[in-house]
Amino acid sequence: MFPFLLIGQAKVFKHGKAKTLYVSIPSKVAQDSAFTIKEGDIVEVKFDKDLGAVVIRPKSHEHLKKT
């Protein structure tokens, strides 16, 4: 399906009474040179119903520019 370089298990958790869910990215994935998302980056999160998968990708810098 997708040509993955690294696959790791992540834990989904919530903090306190918040309804927000957090995903922990495993170190071996986050440190891979092909993994370009870094701390503080803005990402887009989508749930693909057909794949039954969460897709996380960086937002384009164009989307962050104020007009």
Task: For residue 5, give both structure tokens.
Answer: 């370089």
Q: What's the pLDDT score for residue 21?
A: 92
Q: Which CATH class is domain 12-64?
A: mainly beta
Per-residue pLDDT reduced to its tens digit, 5-49: 678 888 899 988 989 999 999 998 898 888 889 999 999 999 999
Dmax (CA) for the chain in angstroms is 39
pTM (two decimals): 0.65
- If DSSP codes are grouped into helix, strand and coil, which group holds residue 54? strand
d(CA 4, CA 60): 22
Which residue has tokens 């298990």? 9
Could you tell me the residue ranges of all domains in the chain?
12-64
Q: What's the pLDDT score for residue 67?
A: 47
Q: What's the pLDDT score for residue 6?
A: 75
d(CA 64, CA 42): 9
